[in-house]
Amino acid sequence: MNRFLIILSLVFGVLGVVLTILPFGTLALIPIALAFIFALITVFRQREKLFPKLVLVIVFANFLTVIGKEVFVKDVVEVDEQFETIKQQSEQDAQKDLEGLE
Amino acid sequence: MSKKIFILISFVLVNIVLHAQVKAGERLVFAGSYEVSGLMTNIAQLTMSTSSMQTAKNNYLHLRLEMATFNKWDSYFKIRDIYESYANPTSLKPSLYKRSIFEGGYSKTEKYTFQPDGTTVKSVVKRGNRPEKQNSFKIGAATIDVVTLIYKLRTTNFAAMKPGSAVSFVLVFDEKQHPVSVKYIGKETVQAGNLGKKECYKLAIVANTNKLKGKDKNLIYLTADAKKVPALIKFSIPVGVGQLTLTSASGI
């Protein structure tokens, strides 16, 4: 049972890390919360074992990373020279098309 | 004589009130988010801007909607879309509609030229590396494009409408005409970016298309004032639900 719980916490912990790396924002908190719950249950059931405590610490660090990213990393749109050129070209073409209609 | 002057002044005033909402130099920025497992995740930024374009004979109002993914998404699914329309500044009748989309490697460009006869549109469509496709099709006198529709809504007098009533439009999209109606649901207060909390007209887009899903799930909230700024847009499409939240409004 303890092994099953620690495997579950590890699976959800890894999923949490993957979603933290990917730009899914707070979605990573779902597997992190599950990993935390399973790791916490394991810690209570196996107080003498170090590994469940280690998993708990890693999951908590992951949680702090997600919160930190949400608070401190702002969503920005990169200045895209190619996109700016497309917009300018489109405007020039539009002017010609409109003059062609007149 | 004085009656004629009164009618003329009234006509001018009505036009000013109706069209005061759409002027050049306006810039509205929205954060676009998409629901993933019940949580809204910020994906892209949508910018609505207006400017003037002067040609040899006419002046046009250039209405542009551009969407770009936030840089954190660019490596996974880059979006760079432009929807633009060139319309008469007073009547908002479009003369040219252009669409250029780039979504995760897929690209498509469309150009619809509204012919001066008022009943024909010439289209040029290009998908990816495929050859350009030209077409010509008939439209109604009141047919507009999707960009103009958003701005037309802002000139609609919702204060005079009863909840449940609707206004109808005909849109040209994907080389076809689509009837669209906009139902006025009522008023609701929502957060409108730097404008603060605003009382808004809550409107539902009703269209007989498989691109929009659900009843009253595609909503536009326009501030219930003279500016009628879109504060919040909620959409429900076959691949999920999302929303556009106004973050900043300038030049209004």
pLDDT in tens, B73-108: 998 899 999 999 999 998 999 999 999 999 999 999
Using an 8 Å Cβ cutoff, are B32 and B44 in contact? yes
**Which residues, 6+ apart, have CB-to-CB distance to B114 below 8 Å?**
B93, B94, B95, B96, B97, B120, B121, B139
Q: Is residue B73 part of a domain?
A: yes
Q: Is residue B146 part of a domain?
A: yes
Beta bridge partners of B107: B102
Using an 8 Å Cβ cutoff, are B41 and A27 in contact? yes
In this complex, do B58 and A94 lie within 8 Å of one another by their Cβ atoms? no
Please state, in angstroms and rounded to a whole number, the distance separating the CA atoms of residues B232 and B193. 9
**Which residues, 6+ apart, have CB-to-CB distance to B78 below 8 Å?**
B69, B102, B103, B104
Using an 8 Å Cβ cutoff, are B27 and B250 in contact? yes
Please state, in angstroms and rounded to a whole number, the distance separating the CA atoms of residues B66 and B45. 8
Q: How many CA atoms lie within 13 A of A67 on its CB side?
A: 8
In this complex, do A26 and B39 lie within 8 Å of one another by their Cβ atoms? yes
Q: DSSP secondary-structure letter at A26? A: G
Q: Is residue B23 part of a domain?
A: no
Using an 8 Å Cβ cutoff, are B60 and B86 in contact? yes
ipTM value: 0.78
Q: Looking at the 3D structure of chain B, how many domains does it have? A: 1
Dihedral, CA of residue B140, residue B146, residue B152 and residue B157, to nearest 10:
100
Q: Which residues of B touch A30 (CB under 8 A)?
A: 37, 39
pLDDT in tens, B115-174: 988 899 999 999 998 999 999 999 998 999 999 999 999 999 998 899 999 999 999 888
* Residues of chain B above pLDDT 70, percent: 90
**Which residues, 6+ apart, have CB-to-CB distance to B10 below 8 Å?**
none
- In angstroms, how far is the first alpha carbon of chain B from the final one? 37
Give DSSP secondary structure letters for B150-174: HHHHTTS-GGGSPTT-EEEEEEEET
Per domain, the residue ranges of chain A are 2-74
Q: Is residue B139 part of a domain?
A: yes
Using an 8 Å Cβ cutoff, are B205 and B180 in contact? yes
Chain A / chain B CB contacts < 8 angstroms: 82
Q: Is residue B22 part of a domain?
A: no
Using an 8 Å Cβ cutoff, are B18 and B34 in contact? no
Q: Which of B108, B36, B93 is nearest to B60 (CA)?
A: B93
CB nearest A99 (choices: B45, B55, B74): B55
pTM value is: 0.83
Interface of B with A (CB under 8 A): 31, 36-37, 39, 41-42, 44-45, 53, 55-58, 60, 62, 64, 66, 68-74, 76, 80, 82, 84, 86, 95-96, 98, 100, 111, 113, 115-116
Q: Which domain holds residue B49?
A: 29-250
The amino acid at B133: K
User: Strands B120-127, B106-114: parallel, antiparallel or unpaired by DSSP?
Assistant: antiparallel
pLDDT in tens, B194-219: 999 999 999 999 887 767 776 778 99
Using an 8 Å Cβ cutoff, are A72 and B70 in contact? no
Q: Is residue B2 part of a domain?
A: no
pLDDT in tens, A40-85: 999 888 877 888 888 889 999 999 999 998 889 888 998 999 999 9
Question: When comparing pLDDT for B203 and B2, which is higher?
Answer: B203
Q: Is residue B191 part of a domain?
A: yes
Q: Which of B173, B229, B179 is nearest to B201 (CA)?
A: B229
Q: Is residue B61 part of a domain?
A: yes
Q: Which residues of A touch B55 (CB under 8 A)?
A: 95, 98-99, 102
Rg of chain B over CA atoms, in angstroms?
19
